[in-house]
């Protein structure tokens, strides 16, 4: 799966999060920090991760989330690692 | 198998242990749970606490609302998620002391209807509304108990249906209503890193 394809999927997920103002999703890059740049509380991150699992039909382990890098790059890397893991 | 082993003893329910055995990160002055009375690992819990002199010091004899919330999160998200983590990894809470930290993540709406004074035993009825990736969200209520009631006996036949309905005798006085109380067990290195930023 290409990284841009994952970004597009992530943006679809982020559009479903009511706390995120839609205009903040314009120009999302791999450097975007989901917590800091999109201004959401850390409690919401788990909901985003749960939605990401469904979107990409994958399953994260608790340990994957323990030290999650909250940037788009970090999430893309995680999705790719989990897909490779199978 | 439901539960986990701690020093060779199977802990199938939090009711069989003292809160300090699972809330190991909390020192004695900060532990605001005295006893668990009913526990369903995936549904919720009933626990109690009686405020002490120390708890109401410099606060006109009243147990603070913020401490009610702290007591609630200790009894619910902190205790319940630690139980599930120990069960999943078949380890004891002590094994996780240097690995994770119970963290208070967020509070939703809280409504206070009445106050609690020193010596007022109260029960926490906590319902799990969400649990994933070691993050737990609970709703619930705090009630002041009738004086002299044997809480272990009163809750011995309690069940999930009664929890969902907050089905208690009218002698229990509703003190507060709490929503979306959220806690998460966070990896200790990650916790240190985010607090250094």
State whether B190 and A43 contact (CB < 8 Å): no
- Burial state string for B27-53 with b = 16 or more CB within 10 A and e = fewer than 16: eeeebbbbbbbbbbbebbbbbbbbbee
Chain B interface test: which of A19, A33, A36, A43 (most B C-beta within 10 Å): A43
Instruction: Note the pTM of the prediction, 2 decimals.
Output: 0.91
pLDDT tens string B50-95 = 999 999 999 999 999 999 999 999 999 999 999 999 999 999 999 9
CA angle B108/B110/B114 to nearest 5° reads 170
State whether B187 and A66 contact (CB < 8 Å): yes
pLDDT tens string B169-187 = 999 999 999 999 999 998 8
pLDDT score of B1 more than 70: no
Å between A26 CA and nearest CA of chain B: 26
Å between B186 CA and nearest CA of chain A: 6
- What confidence score (pLDDT) does residue A49 get? 95
The top-level CATH class assigned to B4-196 is alpha beta
Q: Contact A11/A4 with Cβ under 8 angstroms?
A: no
DSSP A71: B
> Any idea what the CATH number is for the domain that residue A58 is in?
1.10.1200.10
- What confidence score (pLDDT) does residue B193 get? 78
Contact status of A1 with chain B (Cβ, < 8 Å): no
- What confidence score (pLDDT) does residue A12 get? 96
pLDDT tens string B146-175 = 999 999 999 999 999 999 999 999 999 999
Q: Rounded to an integer, what distance in angstroms lies between the CA atom of residue A81 and that of residue B4?
A: 31
- What confidence score (pLDDT) does residue B79 get? 98
Q: Rounded to an integer, what distance in angstroms lies between the CA atom of residue B188 and that of residue B181?
A: 21
pLDDT score of A67 more than 90: no
pLDDT tens string B14-50 = 999 999 999 999 999 999 999 999 999 999 999 999 9
Q: Rounded to an integer, what distance in angstroms lies between the CA atom of residue B123 and that of residue A49?
A: 34
Number of domains in chain A: 1
pLDDT tens string B88-137 = 999 999 999 999 899 999 999 999 999 999 999 999 999 999 999 999 99
Contact status of A41 with chain B (Cβ, < 8 Å): yes
Any idea where the domains of chain B sit in the sequence?
4-196
**Whole domain around residue A46: which residue ranges?**
3-85
Out of B85, B133, B189, the one facing A49 most closely (by C-beta) is: B133
- What confidence score (pLDDT) does residue B197 get? 67
State whether A41 and B106 contact (CB < 8 Å): yes
pLDDT tens string A8-42 = 999 999 999 999 999 999 989 999 999 999 999 88
Q: Rounded to an integer, what distance in angstroms lies between the CA atom of residue B107 and that of residue B105?
A: 7
- Burial state string for B6-20 with b = 16 or more CB within 10 A and e = fewer than 16: beeeebebbbebebe
Chain B residues with CB under 8 Å of A60 CB are 133
Å between A61 CA and nearest CA of chain B: 7
């Amino acid at each position: 799966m290409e990284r841009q394809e994952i970004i597009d999927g992530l943006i679809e997920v982020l559009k479903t999060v009511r706390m995120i103002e839609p205009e903040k999703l314009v120009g999302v890059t791999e450097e975007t920090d989901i917590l800091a740049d999109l201004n959401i509380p850390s409690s919401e991150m788990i909901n985003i991760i749960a939605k990401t699992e469904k979107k990409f039909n994958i399953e994260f382990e608790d340990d994957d989330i323990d030290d999650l890098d909250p940037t788009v790059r970090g999430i893309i890397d995680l999705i790719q690692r989990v897909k490779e893991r199978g | 198998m439901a539960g986990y082993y701690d020093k060779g003893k199977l802990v199938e329910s939090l009711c069989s242990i003292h809160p300090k055995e699972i809330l190991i990160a909390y020192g004695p002055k900060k532990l605001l749970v005295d006893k668990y009375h009913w526990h369903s690992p995936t549904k919720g819990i009933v626990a109690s606490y009686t405020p002490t002199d120390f708890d109401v010091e410099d606060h006109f004899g009243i147990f603070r609302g913020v401490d009610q919330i702290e007591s609630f999160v200790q009894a619910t998200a902190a205790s319940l998620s630690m139980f599930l983590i120990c069960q999943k990894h078949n380890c004891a809470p002590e094994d996780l002391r240097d690995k994770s930290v119970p963290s208070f993540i967020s509070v939703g709406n809280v409504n206070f209807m009445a106050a609690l004074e020193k010596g007022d035993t109260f029960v926490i009825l906590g319902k799990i509304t969400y649990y994933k990736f070691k993050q737990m969200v609970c709703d619930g209520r705090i009630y002041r108990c009738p004086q002299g009631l044997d809480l272990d006996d009163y809750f011995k036949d309690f069940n999930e249906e009664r929890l969902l309905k907050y089905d208690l005798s009218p002698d229990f006085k509703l003190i507060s209503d709490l929503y979306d109380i959220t806690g998460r067990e966070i990896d200790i290195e990650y916790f240190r890193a985010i607090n250094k930023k």
